[in-house]
Amino acid sequence: MQDLQLIDSQTLLKHLYINAPIGIALISLDRKWMSVNPTVCSIFGYSEEEFKDVILEEIRHPDDRNNTTDLLTKLMDGVIPSYEVENRYFNKNGHIVWTYVHVSLVRDDNDGKPLYFITQFIDVTKNKLAELKLQESIERYTSLKKYNHDAIISFGLDGIIINGNNMVHQMTGYLIEELIGNGMSKLIGEKSATHLLLALNDHVEIEKVEKNITYIQHKDGYSVEVLVTLAPIIIQTKTMGFYIIAKDMTEQKKLIIEKEAAEKTNKAKSEFLAMMSHEIRTPMNGVIGMTDVLLDTKLDEEQIDYVKIIKKSGDTLLAIINDILDFSKIESGKTELMEEPMNVRDILSETLYMVMSKALEKNLEITTSVCPRVPNLVYGDSTKLRQVLMNLLSNAIKFTPNGAIAISIDTVSHELNKVRLQFAIRDTGIGVPKEQAGHLFEPFYQVDHFMTRRTEGTGLGLAICKKLVALMDGQIWHEASDDQIGSTFSFTANFRVQTNLVDPLQYEMWPQEDNIVDNSTEQTLKILIAEDNDVNQIVLKKMIEKLGHKATLVANGKEAVEAVKRYPYDIIFMDIQMPWMDGITATKLINDMYTGKKRPCIVAVTAHAIKGDSEKYLSVGMDAYISKPISINAISEIIERFEKLKQI
């Protein structure tokens, strides 16, 4: 070995200073850089020349600037020979550099006076970032385990419980300390524990065991129903144990049972409403229909007043039934939007025509304003739009003793294939108290108390409007007038538009020309009525006779089929629900009889007033649809349209 005394110590120190993997810096007592080795330059990114303008405290992280004050004091006072600390610094690029710092003080050999500091920097950034990442992972795992709503139990390959989270105690009644060191059989039973240990090395078998573990044993002796997941504990690529994650299914099971019960109840409610619709509306057909017939007979003024009262009461009852049925269908989620071409201006005119008589009775002034930017033709559900407008206009007339009503339609936005319109109905009526305005759209809510209210209704109208507007991707709201007189109800709705407009007449659902019996040589039509209710038979027959035609009566679908075999009828008014054979079955048989030939026009007559049923009846071969109670106008319209098509 070479004698160290022969090696130049200055040369050795210089070599170590320059080539040391540790940053070495000489720092003056006033904290300025005196000298730095290449490693310090590499750590901080500055050249040796640039360090002259770098102030040590300025590049230190703000959170670490005061962590050496006491240590420096002790070092200067000779209490300690050196100190070590972990500091963060900003390098030239602004990135944080984690360093392990060792600081010592060089003193004068004669009087011990402090001369300068020797500071050594070790870059530990990579290690620190890895440590932080590991710490973050541990904290996430700890939080997940601690606050998880499922019980998490870790156990070794021998089936011995290692640990568990807080939910284990809540689920099993055992403290974690009571479970550690016990076998899994304490919780899942001997049989399941045996199967579990045998399956630990087989992924497929593990999944089977998961499904078979359905209960966890509680300390008090009862079982808790659970859904189990098994997850391996892998350390350095080796499986060292497993987690058993158990979800308490007690509440979920209750929810499932409650959900099934609610669905059954909802189904029963829908079936009940459908039945009640038929049972209530069928006699209503007799009441309202016969009033139409009576009003066309010779009556004195007193009798006319009585009949009008009956008709008004029947119409009111019918409106209430319709509201309840509409609301029930919307609530059950069975209401769907139809898309058909429609003219918004025409729909407004038609709706106004229907309510105009009531407005004239009160001498109300009605004005309309439609923005020129509103397209003439849009695609949407005209029935639902008309229903919302009808309800809001009827309310405006009902609650406006005198004054005026204004309707406006404006375009909110117009994109390539979609337009958003805003409708507003303003009135000068009694208005709505501020404290009650927030409840307007709640089901069955009415501003007047039921014992003192001056108007009729169910309180469902605005609730139905809100749900229908939501179906049209819009919103509805109430605006109080500034002078507290009257109200404004506004709503928005989206409609589809397109540049290549289609003639709306092609959407008219009516029998084609070749399906209509040619009886042009005869003045009257041959009409068959298939109806099992005696009152409805009389009502329909009287209405048809009033229109100048004669009708044959049959009591069920089977008799209707036999009647068609014997005689070629032009129109058949076919009730849907009849004994022996229903109207749909009879329609199919009649259509089969006339395959390739001209056949009678079949009109569905039903008490089921739920919207959307018309498409169902048309799809089974019927040509038109009317609902009970039947008005003479509805019968007249069908006959007129039939005669027009017959002449084509």
Which of these three, 292, 309, 332, is where a domain ends? 332
What's the mean pLDDT in 246-265? 81
Answer whether residue 457 shows pLDDT above 60.
no
Examine residue 516 and state whether it is found in any structural domain, yes or no.
no
Is the pLDDT score of 221 beyond 80? yes
Are 353 and 460 within one domain? yes
* DSSP run (H or E) holding 262: helix 250-295
Query: Does position 505 have pLDDT exceeding 50, yes or no?
Result: no
Task: Tell me whether residue 261 is in a domain.
Answer: no
Burial class (CB in 10 A: 0-12, 13-18, 19+), 209: buried
Residue with tokens 């984690």: 98
Give pLDDT, residue 121.
Answer: 94
Integer Cα distance of 421 and 414 in angstroms: 9
Instruction: Please write the tens of the pLDDT for every residue from 98-125.
Output: 999 999 999 988 888 999 999 999 999 8
Alpha helices in 344-472, H assignment, sequence order: 344-361, 382-398, 434-437, 461-471
Both tokens of 525, joined, read 């039509």
Specify the length of the chain in residues. 648
Residue 278 has pLDDT above 70, yes or no: no
Q: Give the C-alpha separation, 363 to 226, whole Å.
A: 71
512 in any annotated domain? no
The sheet with strand 161-164 has its strands ordered as 161-164, 151-156, 238-248, 223-235, 215-217
Q: Averaged over 168-190, what is the pLDDT?
A: 89
Distance CA 442, CA 439 (A): 5
CATH number, domain containing residue 623? 3.40.50.2300
* pLDDT exceeds 60 at position 450: no
344 is written with which tokens? 């918004």
Cβ atoms of 580 and 557 closer than 8 Å:
yes
Confidence of residue 424 (pLDDT cuts 50, 70, 90): very high
Percentage of the chain beyond pLDDT 70 is 81
The mean-pLDDT minimum among 8-12, 116-120, 167-171, 186-190 falls in 8-12
Least confident piece of the model among 8-17, 48-57, 59-68: 8-17
pLDDT confidence of residue 270 = 64
pLDDT of residue 324: 66
Of the ranges 16-25, 208-217, 219-228, 623-632, which one carries the lowest mean pLDDT score? 623-632
Q: What is the pLDDT of residue 520?
A: 37
Is 432 a member of any domain?
yes
Query: Which tens digits make up the pLDDT trace of 375-400?
Result: 988 999 888 898 889 889 988 998 88
Q: Give the pLDDT confidence score for residue 322 in this predicted structure.
A: 67
Q: Are the CB atoms for 150 and 167 separated by under 8 Å?
A: yes
Tell whether 367 and 451 lie within a shared domain. yes
- Residue 508 belongs to some domain of the structure: no
User: What does the pLDDT average to over 197-223?
Assistant: 84
Tens-digit pLDDT profile for residues 576-628:
888 889 989 999 998 888 866 678 899 988 765 555 666 778 888 888 888 77
Q: What pLDDT was estimated at residue 449?
A: 40
Identify whether residues 531 and 622 lie together within a single domain.
Answer: yes
On whether both 462 and 567 belong to a single domain, the answer is no
Q: Are the CB atoms for 572 and 581 separated by under 8 Å?
A: no
DSSP label at 110? T
Look up the CATH number of the domain holding residue 296: 1.10.287.130
Answer yes or no: do 122 and 139 share one domain: no
Angle between helix axes 632-646 and 250-295 (nearest 10 degrees) is 80
pLDDT at 137 over 70: no
Are residues 450 and 372 located together in one domain of the fold?
A: yes
CA distance 79 to 66: 19
Would you state the pLDDT for residue 508? Answer: 36
Q: Indicate if 355 and 444 belong to the same structural domain.
A: yes
What type of residue is 38? P
8 A C-beta contact, residue 536 and residue 501:
no
H helix or E strand, kind and range, residue 30: none
Residue 423 has what pLDDT?
Answer: 95
**Whether 362 and 442 share a structural domain:** yes
Higher pLDDT, 318 or 465: 465
Any domain includes 570: yes
Per DSSP, what are the bridge partners of residue 164?
153
Strands 601-606 and 624-627: parallel
CB 577 within 8 A of CB 606: yes
pLDDT average, residue stretch 230-249: 83
Does 64 lie in the same domain as 17?
yes
Maximum average pLDDT range among 97-101, 291-295, 530-534? 97-101
Percent of the chain with pLDDT over 90: 16
Tokens of 531: 């109806």
CATH number of the domain that residue 168 is part of: 3.30.450.20
Backbone angles phi, psi at 314, to 5 degrees: -65, -40
Over residues 153-162, mean pLDDT? 88
Cβ contact 317:301 at 8 Å: no
333 near 372, Cβ under 8 Å?
no
Q: Rounded to an integer, what distance in angstroms lies between the CA atom of residue 135 and that of residue 112? A: 45
Of 45-59, 207-221, 301-315, 541-555, the poorest mean pLDDT is in 301-315
**Distance between CA atoms of residues 43 and 25, nearest Å:** 12
Identify the pLDDT of residue 517: 36
Token output for 201: 């090395």
Residues 121 and 136 in one domain: no
Pick the last residue of a domain from 126, 146, 168: 126
Looking up tokens 């600037």 gives 65
Measured CA to CA, the distance from residue 576 to residue 557 in angstroms comes to 9
Q: Count of CB atoms within 10 A of residue 588's CB?
A: 15
Number of structural domains the chain divides into: 5
Helix, strand, coil fractions of the chain, as percent rounded to 5: 45, 25, 30
- Rounded to the nearest integer, the mean pLDDT of the chain is 80
User: How much is the average pLDDT of 306-329?
Assistant: 71
Domain of residue 79, residue span: 9-126
Question: Are 318 and 395 members of one domain?
Answer: no
CA–CA separation, 203 and 192 (whole Å): 16
Domain assignment of residue 2, yes or no = no
pLDDT higher than 90, residue 500: no
pLDDT, tens digit, 9 for 90 and up, residues 325-361: 666 666 555 566 778 888 888 888 878 877 877 888 8
pLDDT of residue 504: 39
Q: Are residues 232 and 173 in the same domain?
A: yes
Backbone angles phi, psi at 474, to 5 degrees: -130, -175
User: Looking at residue 441, which CATH number applies to its domain?
Assistant: 3.30.565.10
State the pLDDT confidence band at 513, using cuts at 50, 70 and 90.
very low
Indicate the residue among 92, 107, 126 that finishes a domain.
Answer: 126
Q: Which residues of 31-58 are buried (b: 16+ CB within 10 A; e: fewer)?
A: eebeebbebbbebbebeeeebeeeeeee
pLDDT on residue 463? 81
The span from the CA of 542 to the CA of 537, in Å, is 9
Distance between CA atoms of residues 304 and 284, nearest Å: 19
What is the maximum alpha-carbon separation in the chain?
146
Asked whether residue 375 is domain-assigned, the answer is yes
Please report the pLDDT score of residue 383 as a whole number.
80
Rounded Cα distance, 240 and 233, in Å: 6
